[in-house]
Amino acid sequence: MEVALVILVVALALSFDYTNGFHDAANAIATSVSTRALTPRAALLMAAVMNFVGALLGTEVAETIATSIVDLQDAPAHTSLVVVVAALVGAITWNLITWWFGLPSSSTHALIGGLVGAGLAANLAIYGTAIVDKVVLPMIFSPLVGFGLAFVVMVGVLWIFKSASPSKTTRRFRVAQTASAAAMALGHGLQDAQKTMGVIFMALLTVGWANKDEGIPLWVKLAAAAAISLGTYAGGWRIMRTLGRKIIELDPARGFVAETVSAVVLYVNAFVLHAPVSTTHTITSAIMGVGATKRLSAVRWGVAKNIGIAWILTIPASAAVAALMYYILHPILG
């Protein structure tokens, strides 16, 4: 039974990774597509390649997911595996719901909410301090930093290029957006693919098929990188329209600044803080920040409010689905 459950965890984790890819494809390329810096298919191909590369650049975030959310050490192996299965079902369900409604919610927080909900249903210990430090605080501060930094940088860009030819400046920033979109896609792979690696690593540790000191096996890294890349190339057009046009009409300069600031925030959290932050929250808040430099009313705050509600609901909703799935699956799979 344990072998079957591990196989199920791997299959569900890679399915989640795929949904994460098409759900979050907009994070990397929506601004570039909306400003016509890149064609949709070229943007998706570039994002898929950079997602794959980014996924292989580190494992710190993956190890945070595997060891700092739910304590599985003293739980029976089958209970731990059912917890992971239920968590993945909860996260996938929320991803599909928000994708259907075109809401750019966080796949990261859906997965973490799923782990917490299933862990609580199984009466397992939750690493409260680690969750606050590695999840809650970055969840609060990353969007604020993204908004504020994007606003400040955009004001600086506007001042530097105030006397430049508008048409020439637009062309240059459209070219620059190719680099900033690639940087954003690299950050997305660096952050989001690692979460799937962490879940699979968690399952392997549970049954003794991996060693914590040896780190994440190479096949896990390659599988997660491939799944998120394929999902990204499939595209997430519903959410792309929301990010690229519904929040604010972006120009190439604002698109470049939003992507660059978002990439910097993702890199700092991955390499310095080892925190699993939401690429969705980061790019969305950065888009709002650059939009606010036009005027506050330029941002469609009604759309922003709907996105904010989805953000707030993500962790409790995915936790509730995961808890329900645990209660259903544990008697069957246990």
Cβ atoms of 258 and 283 closer than 8 Å: yes
Supply angle C-alpha 45, 17, 90, rounded to 5.
145
Q: What is the pTM of this model?
A: 0.83
pLDDT given at position 119: 93
- Poorest-confidence range of 107-116, 191-200, 292-301? 292-301
pLDDT given at position 19: 82
pLDDT given at position 301: 63
Q: What is the pLDDT of residues 50-109, one digit of tens each?
A: 889 988 888 888 888 888 888 888 888 888 899 999 999 988 988 888 777 766 677 888
pLDDT given at position 244: 46
Q: Is residue 313 over pLDDT 70? A: yes
Q: Is residue 170 over pLDDT 80? A: yes
pLDDT given at position 296: 65
- Poorest-confidence range of 43-47, 123-127, 149-153? 43-47
Q: What is the rounded (10 degree) CA torsion for 31, 34, 39, 41?
A: 70
Q: What is the pLDDT of residues 230-289, one digit of tens each?
A: 887 776 555 555 554 555 567 888 889 988 999 999 898 888 877 888 777 788 888 888
Q: Which of 170, 148, 152 has the alpha carbon at shortest distance from 161?
A: 170
Mean pLDDT of the residues in the chain: 83
Radius of gyration of the chain from its Cα atoms, rounded to whole angstroms? 20
pLDDT given at position 121: 94
Residue with tokens 């710190």: 60
Distances (CA, A) of 109 to 105, 118, 126, 233: 8, 14, 15, 22
